[in-house]
């Protein structure tokens, strides 16, 4: 088990995970829009984190997550790679109802207007979650 990180260190690691996973975040967002979802919020889960892994397993099943982690570890030997991530989008309305039970400290973000031309990403790693915004312009570099 990882040692307890400071809030600042955890936030920095959450930001880095998002920066390293921008293609997955934008892909989940675009898929949600293609399916007609209004106001998608992207969840980016670190499947190797205790909380992120628990959430991923509840959505995908333990076998799927364990297989993905094993595959990533095999690729790590060749290509490198930090962790196993899963990205999926949900409507803001669903997030308002369900997320506060797990992460009450980010509840307010679902009731605020997003900055123009950006998407909201909930990054779950380091034993917690952060609500981060990503400008659409970052897609060009993703």
**Residue spans of alpha helices (H) in the chain:** 7-20, 22-34, 50-60, 62-79, 92-102
The CA distance from 111 to 92, in Å, is 9
CA angle, corner 123, sides to 120 and 127, nearest 5? 150
Residues 6+ apart with CB under 8 A from 126: 2, 5, 9, 10, 13, 14, 46, 49
Residue-wise pLDDT tens digits, 38-97: 889 999 999 999 999 999 999 889 998 998 888 888 776 555 557 889 999 999 999 999
The pTM of the full predicted model, rounded to 2 decimals, is: 0.86
Does the pLDDT at position 135 exceed 50? yes
The CA distance from 85 to 131, in Å, is 16
Residue-wise pLDDT tens digits, 3-21: 567 888 888 999 999 999 9
């Amino acid at each position: 088990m990882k040692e307890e990180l400071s809030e600042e260190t955890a936030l920095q690691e959450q930001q880095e995970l998002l920066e390293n996973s921008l293609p997955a975040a934008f892909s989940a967002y675009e898929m949600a829009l293609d399916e007609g979802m209004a106001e998608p919020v992207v969840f980016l889960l670190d499947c190797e984190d205790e909380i992120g892994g628990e959430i991923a397993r509840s959505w995908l099943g333990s076998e799927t997550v364990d297989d993905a982690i094993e595959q990533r570890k095999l690729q790590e030997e060749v290509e490198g790679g930090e962790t196993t991530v899963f990205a999926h989008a949900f409507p803001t309305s669903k997030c308002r109802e369900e997320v506060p039970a797990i992460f009450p400290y980010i509840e307010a973000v679902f009731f605020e207007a997003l900055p123009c031309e950006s998407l909201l990403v909930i990054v779950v790693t380091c034993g917690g979650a952060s609500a981060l915004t990503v400008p659409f312009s970052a897609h060009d570099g993703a």
